[in-house]
A and B are shown apart, each in its own frame.
Chain A
Amino acid sequence: MIVISTETIPGWKITEVKGLVQGNTVRAKHIGRDIAAGFKNIVGGELKGYTELLTEARREALERMMSQAKELGGNAVVNLRYATSMITSGAAEMMAYGTAVVAVKEQE
């Protein structure tokens, strides 16, 4: 499945628009990671545990969005956007949304 952040796909023709699709996931942080992050808050720097956690969460949100697009009968998602929000102090929500479309490869 093609997932792209622009409205068009070069080399492909969009023949049908299937509608808005979205996927989200809410992740809570791990206590072990939180303790490590507490130390990092003293010296500063990247919180690698959190970076990995969010990579995973975002991938899941994207996969949910893609399966929704498949259900609608689309083979591509265009104009993809991401959104992140803190729900409570311990959990973050990742969301991915876009427009599911049917795209056909253009003949040269």
Chain B
Amino acid sequence: MEELEFFISTGSFLVLFMIGFIFGRLNEKRHLARLAKEQKELNDILCTDLKRYPADIDSSITPVLVTGHVVIANDYFKMIAASLRNIFGGSVKSYEALIHRARWEASIRMLKEARENGFDAICNIRFETANISNGVEVLAWGSAFKRK
């Protein structure tokens, strides 16, 4: 009986581990490919984190606040990998990738909002990160304006 229990508990752990590894990797690949594609279409929007508007601003159109945010969870495999990393120290690659993805997605959503409202530049961009239930939330916001 004890052997069966042991088998079930380690078995379910291994299954989750494998599912996390396969689907997590697949999801990440698909997500990064989509982000790269969307970034290409939004590359012509000028982005800065400067506090002042550049001289070529069209001041007849009032700038508007644009925001973008996303909550992304890590997969089971990477969660385990990261907790192993906590023992030995060093750079936690799996979380680096997660936050990179989240930040990229948030900034693309912000850029899309600017594009939808007819703006072609954003200044004073700020990023904020918070951790929410095993995942991260990234918020990006800035002031969208039109150039002459």
Contacts and interface: CB of A to CB of B under 8 A. Distances in A.
Contacts of B70: 46, 51
Contacts of A34: 133
Contacts of B137: 50, 54, 84
A83 interface: yes
Interface string B59-79: 111111101011111111011
Contacts of B24: 43-44
Given A6-B143, A43-B24, A46-B105, A86 B132 contact: yes
B122 to A, nearest CB: 10
B133 A45 contact: no
Contact of A6 (B72, B98, B123): B123
Interface stretch (B1-9, B39-47, B49-57, B83-91): B49-57
A44 B76 CA distance: 7
B16 to A, nearest CB: 6
B126 A44 contact: no
Max chain B Cβ within 10 angstroms of own Cβ: one of A6, A29, A80: A6
Interface stretch (A7-15, A18-26, A67-75): A7-15
A45 B69 contact: no
Max chain B Cβ within 10 angstroms of own Cβ: one of A34, A45, A50: A45
Contacts of B145: 10
Name the interface size band of chain A.
Answer: 35 or more
Interface in A38-75: 40-47, 50-51, 54-55, 58
A29 B92 CA distance: 28
A43 to B, nearest CB: 4
A92 B130 CA distance: 9
A51 B126 CA distance: 18
A47 B135 contact: yes
A14 B28 CA distance: 46
Contact of A44 (B60, B74, B128, B130): B74
B76 A41 contact: yes
A45 B67 contact: no
Interface of A: 2-12, 29, 34, 37, 40-47, 50-51, 54-55, 58, 80-86, 89, 92, 106, 108
What are the 5 closest A-B residue pairs judged by CB atoms, nearest first?
Answer: A44-B75, A43-B23, A10-B59, A84-B130, A11-B59
